[in-house]
Amino acid sequence: TQTYITNVNSEAGSFTVVVDQAPQGRQIQKIRVAVWSESNQGNLSWYDATPTGTHTEVNVSTVNHKNLAGNYTTHVYVDYTDNTVEGFNLGQTTLSPRNRRVEPQTTYYSQRDPRWASKWYGVSNMDQSGCVPTSLAMTFTDILGTTVAPTTVADYLYYNTNSFNKTSVAGTDAEGIVSASKNWGLKSNMLSSISSIASALLSGQHVLAAVGASQFINYPYTHEIVLHGYDNGKTYVRDPFNAANNGWYSLDYIHGVKSTDPMDTKLGAPFFSIFA
């Protein structure tokens, strides 16, 4: 087996790892590529690939590594069908990606707006438990280019699903985010890592994030915020409860304060991208 790096584009922050299987060699079952640039492998990402014939290419991007400039170390692990594993150290590749800034949209709604703050749904009102429908309303208004009010989303969730204020615990579960997005003709995708959140934001998608104890909410409660825009590892936050919190925050911080509440992680992770 031969492995090497090609197609290095320093400014784009990308390169390709190639794995070639020898014609008479052991049959490759799986390829795993580990890449990092920070000390202690702080921005380590794994790229898994199934071989495509005798020549397999794995694309690496700094988007998956906090978009940092630096010397990227690459290790390749090849799993064979005979249950053996072979490792390769491809050394370091220097990347200096341009700072790709995505400007945020800033439509803002407050769940505490007197127009709807006191409106009651089941066990609570918009003021106290309307963060998800309000975050969704901001997102839908941005993407669709037409006004979608928080109460319009709340009405849909309360009267058409079992996700919003239907139990003794106030709030909206993760299924409500998926259901409402679909109802407005949009797609949603659960995100489980910082790199996947960064990728979604760099592509212009909105991300709904459920957070625990943090700048945005006090323990033991959780809260939903909207992420949109990207600039050098940071994203712009809109907080439906407190507009004073609106601004740029690092993805490391937001991911570090992610909610672990069962309602928010019902589908696996508390982050969802929403897009047309």
Give the pLDDT of residue 12: 83
Instruction: Give the pLDDT mean for 180-192.
Output: 97
For residue 92, pLDDT over 80 is answered with yes
Distance CA(64)–CA(247), nearest Å, equals 23
Average pLDDT, the chain: 95
pLDDT value of position 63: 83
Tally the C-alpha atoms within 13 A of residue 96's C-alpha that lie toward its C-beta. 0
| pLDDT value, residue 53 | 87
Q: Could you tell me which of 8, 9, 26 has the C-alpha nearest to residue 17?
A: 8
Dihedral Cα 176, 181, 183, 184, nearest 10 deg: 140
pLDDT of residue 196: 84
pLDDT given at position 27: 93
Question: pLDDT exceeding 90 applies to what percent of the chain?
Answer: 83
Tell me the domains of the chain and their CATH numbers.
2-95 (2.60.40.10), 120-275 (3.90.70.10)
pLDDT for 48-90, tens place per residue? 999 988 999 999 999 888 888 899 999 999 999 999 999 999 9
Segment 97-115 mean pLDDT: 92
For the chain, the straight-line distance linking the first and the last C-alpha, in angstroms and rounded, comes to 42
Global pTM value: 0.74
Task: Convert the chain into a string of H (helix), E (strand) and C (coil).
Answer: CEEEEEEEECCCCEEEEEEECCCCCCCEEEEEEEEECCHHHCCCEEEEECCCCCEEEEEEEHHHHCCCCEEEEEEEEEEECCCCEEEEEEEEEEECCCCCCECCCCCCCCCCCCCCCCCEECCEEHHHHCHHHHHHHHHHHHHHCCCCCHHHHHHHHHHHCCCECCCCCCCECHHHHHHHHHHCCCEEEEECCHHHHHHHHHCCCEEEEEECCCCCCCCCCCEEEEEEEEECCEEEEECCCCHHHCEEEEHHHHHHCECCCCCCCCCCCCEEEEEC
Distance in angstroms (rounded) separating the CA atoms of residues 5 and 19: 9
Asked if 115 contacts 130 with a C-beta cutoff of 8 angstroms, the reply is no
pLDDT score at 2: 95
* The two three-digit tokens of residue 151, written as one number: 């109460």
Average pLDDT over residues 255-266: 97
Instruction: Kindly report, residue by residue over 110-123, the tens digit of the pLDDT.
Output: 999 999 999 999 99
Give tens-digit pLDDT for 222-251: 999 999 999 888 999 999 999 999 999 999
Length in residues, the chain? 276
Mean of the pLDDT values across residues 5-16? 93
| Helix (H), strand (E), coil (C) string for 148-186 | CCHHHHHHHHHHHCCCECCCCCCCECHHHHHHHHHHCCC
Mean pLDDT over 122-149 rounds to 98
Rounded to whole angstroms, the Cα distance separating 35 from 3 reads 14
